[in-house]
Amino acid sequence: MIWDYFYLALKGVLHRKLRSWLTILGVLIGVAAVVSLISVGQGMQTSIEKEVNKIGADKITVVAGSGKFGPIAGSITTAKLTDKDLKVILETKGVEKGAGVLFRTSKIKYGKKIKHINVMGSPTDESRSYIEELPFFQIESGRQFSEKDKNSNVAILGYKIAKEKFGKEIKVGDKIYINDEEFKIIGVQKKAGTGTHDLVVRIPLEKARTMFGTEEFTIIFAKVQKGLKPGDVADKIKKRLRKLRNVEKGKEDFSVETAEDMVKRLTIVLNVVQVVFTSIAAISLLVGCIGIMNTMYVSILERKREIGVMKAIGAKNYDVWLVFLIESAMLGLVGGIIGIAFGFALAKLAEFIIVVEFDVELFRIEAGFSFILIALLISALIGGQASKMNPVECLRE
């Protein structure tokens, strides 16, 4: 029997095809926005937490510049970090070990394909042990750098560079060109699960310095001795660097950050992003809901006579309610389900484009499903409105 009501409702939806589709489109956009934006927002958070966790709480990062906005500000500042800074940092009490690295985007050629990829100058001296200990620089095949590689044209590839980036797999022993210089591959890293480390080409630091014509470090990392607070050690490093670089407190041309600081700073930025995303999503949803309400109210007004007739020929309030509920819910459900699929696809697309692992997990479509619940509620209200109409008034229309 319920199928009769579905049939009546479906006929109603199909009778007003264009309007139904436009309503569905409105819902679709709203739900897609919610699912994709919330997925991307939460995915970003997860990915950053994951990356920071991998670095570890006992790590300290030093970059040039005031550092308020991270390495980007560091790269445009005139202040530079050099071997002197590294030495001072390594000699600071409480620092167990550390390393300085240099990053530059370079032209990489393999076969006939050319890509622009981050090249990392990675230490070959004893400080390389710091890098080798980090979980995201582990080797899957081949080997790490050794002291002998200091000035050689050898390279270690991030997982995705080796497996995906150039269409075919690059293996240990293959040759690639970095800024037109030939390099031999001596190692491929294990999958790190973070874009920064899976999409990197490592070459010996000294080689990188010659190639890029600079003596600087982009970042200096330090590991804090067991049992000490990273914050305290970071303060000591700051103090010593101020003295070395001859700057006053508060006017530093460098920044020292612990993992905790980094999480805090990123969380603030992320929260803003999340608020913006959530607001956009909420507005889209609201518009979608209003779309359904508008369509259905217009439909009820147009069909007052039909409602009157249905009642005259024996339809109870419940019957009328059910027909309009189903009709309205159909618009919400079709729009909602397509919207969830679209949102999911959009989030996946964003993941693909920005490379950072967004972790679009299925449970984030909750947002989409809660919309469907809202749509059902609205439908129930609209159905109620239609069913309570007085048959005599309806017939008089």
Residues that bind other proteins (CB under 8 A): 1, 4, 8, 11-12, 14-15, 305-306, 308-319, 391-392, 395-396
Task: Tell me if 311 sits within 8 A of 303, measured CB to CB.
Answer: no
Nearer to other proteins, 333 or 395 (CB): 395
Nearer to other proteins, 243 or 305 (CB): 305
Nearest distance from residue 395's CB to other proteins, in Å? 7
Nearer to other proteins, 9 or 356 (CB): 9
- 386 CB neighbour count, 10 Å cutoff: 27
Exposure of 254 by Cβ count < 10 A (0-12 exposed, 13-18 middle, 19+ buried)?
buried
* DSSP track, 118-178: EEEEE--STTHHHHHHSGGG-EEEE----GGGTTS-EEEE-HHIIIIITSS---TT-EEEE
Nearest distance from residue 396's CB to other proteins, in Å? 8
Nearer to other proteins, 283 or 392 (CB): 392
Nearest distance from residue 15's CB to other proteins, in Å? 4
Single-letter amino acid code for the residue at 176: I
Task: Tell me if 118 sits within 8 A of 200, measured CB to CB.
Answer: yes
Nearest distance from residue 312's CB to other proteins, in Å? 5
* Interstrand relation of 95-110 and 254-258 (parallel, antiparallel or unpaired): unpaired
Nearest distance from residue 337's CB to other proteins, in Å? 24
Q: How distant, in Å, are the alpha carbons of 13, 23, 25 from that of 18?
A: 9, 9, 10
Nearest distance from residue 332's CB to other proteins, in Å? 20
Nearer to other proteins, 6 or 297 (CB): 6
The DSSP output letter for 193 is S
The DSSP output letter for 363 is G
Residue with tokens 């569905």: 24
Nearest distance from residue 286's CB to other proteins, in Å? 30
Q: Residue 63 corresponds to which tokens in the numbers above?
A: 């970059």
Nearer to other proteins, 256 or 330 (CB): 330
Nearest distance from residue 309's CB to other proteins, in Å? 4
Nearer to other proteins, 69 or 318 (CB): 318
Q: Residue 211 corresponds to which tokens in the numbers above?
A: 């190639």
Q: Residue 396 corresponds to which tokens in the numbers above?
A: 């008089």
- The size of the chain, in residues, is 397
Nearer to other proteins, 4 or 133 (CB): 4
